Amino acid sequence: MQGVAESKTGEGIPNLGEALAKFSVGDVQITPDRARLFQAEEQYFGVQGIPEMKQIDVTSIKVKKVVDSYNDHTLWNTVKTCLANADMTDAQQKLATCIITLAVNGYGNGNYGEAIYKDEKMDIKQILVSLGVKFGLKNEAKCSPEVMTPKRLIRLYRVVIHDYLVAHPDVETYLYRKYLVDKKYREYTFQMAEHYITLKQHADSLLAAYHELDRMALSRNPTIADKGSFSFRARGVLKVRGIPFSKELPGQPVQQGVVPILD
């Protein structure tokens, strides 16, 4: 890979045109001062590496693969299996009712409240426990993808929750009612909606509600707004420092203001 250094001009640099012609996406850009350190090997060992490191046998090293702790399809398969084996009538509708109620009313401190199905009250936690949902886990991020928790189910049912809010314009979620100052985009303001939203204005509004919630609960670390923002940036809904978040490299190599590190 051809190394390059930033410069205002390439005057006086031998073979500049040839170097720029070879310059391609992914080439390293460094400052001229640091380039001189590379050349003099005063601080960096350069691309050759440290000779003693050549003794390390990389073919014998195994690295444990990291598996994402959340997967929509895996979790949905668990839900379907639990519903099929449930010892209750209308299990799917009752579960959806419980999840939507949690998203609308919120929950915390072990209190999950009640849901109403066909004019009958249901104890939400009792229904969810009967379906195998886990409660009180300290770190859901370390749970395997098939484990059901209230938070994961709200994320899984995000489209259903949005559809419910669209169908019921008189319903306001706790997040919208208590924490969103500029009342708009009601149907996009609910917990875990960051995994559903695709438009910047909806994302900004949800994050505003998260920021206000965090402000009123100062002990949160990391904040809900931080997590929501990360999800939006990872999916390209919001930008990072004005640059669209993307794993793709630039379409064209940089060919302005660069000079080669001379051998």
For the entire predicted model, the pTM comes to 0.67
Q: Is the pLDDT of residue 3 over 70?
A: no
The rounded Cα 135 to chain-centroid distance in angstroms is: 23
Specify the pLDDT at position 51: 81
What are the pLDDT digits (tens) for 40-94?
655 556 667 778 888 899 899 988 876 678 899 999 999 999 999 999 999 999 9
Residue 219 has pLDDT above 50, yes or no: yes
Mean pLDDT (the chain) is 79
Give the residue extent of every domain in the chain: 67-156
Radius of gyration from C-alpha coordinates of the chain: 27
User: Are residues 205 and 189 in contact, defined by beta-carbon separation less than 8 angstroms?
Assistant: yes
For the record, the structure tokens of 5 come out as: 């250094």
Contact partners, residue 193, CB within 8 Å, separation at least 6: 158, 161, 162, 202, 206
**How many Å apart are CA 5 and CA 222, to the nearest integer?**
38
Q: Which position has the token pair 């049912």?
A: 157
Number of H helices, E strands in the chain: 10, 7
pLDDT digits (tens, 9 = 90+) for 150-183: 999 999 999 999 999 999 999 999 999 999 999 9
Alpha helical stretches, state H, 157-223? 158-167, 174-179, 200-216
In the prediction, which pLDDT does 82 show?
Answer: 96
Euclidean distance between CA atoms 138 and 215, whole angstroms: 23
